Amino acid sequence: MSIRIPISDVQERAKERPPGYFEDVMLHGRIEGDEVELEEAAYKELARKYSDPSFLRKVVRAADAGLNWALQGFPVVTAEQHEVRQALCQACPHWESGLVDRCTKCGCASVKLWLATESCPIGKWERLPE
């Protein structure tokens, strides 16, 4: 079985994925018109590879977020804004509740919801204006 995806969709998804995603999909697929066709096994492998960021990538993102937050003077959102962000994340199919609540798609942890300087990397909520 194969899966056909419009190349424009792959390009759009590449904006949210680590570098190399678009090239990797094109390399593993066969281009037919304006679509790329992937065998099911290749599709599953690419989904696994690009769905959950590595530990190192999460650490780098967290450090960047913390530094940006500190440089901006440690602004936090209001309790109401936090509740909105939290509700959006908890409704997302990528949210995982546990010892540390986190997004399996981008690696964000629940503490990030308090940082006014941060936005959801997959577009669920925006950073607050300065």
Q: Can you list the positions of beta strands (E) in the chain?
A: 2-6, 30-32, 35-39, 95-96, 102-103
Distances (CA, A) of 50 to 33, 94, 116, 119, 130: 25, 13, 27, 20, 32
Banded pLDDT at 105 (limits 50, 70, 90): confident
Predicted local distance difference test score (pLDDT) of residue 52? 65
Q: What average pLDDT does range 28-36 have in this prediction?
A: 94
| Structural domain boundaries in the chain | 2-51, 55-114
| Strand partners of residue 115 | 76
Q: What is the pTM of this model?
A: 0.58
- Give per-residue pLDDT as tens, 36-78: 999 999 988 888 777 666 778 888 888 999 999 999 999 999 9
The SS3 of residue 127 is coil
Residue with the bigger pLDDT between 129 and 27: it is: 27
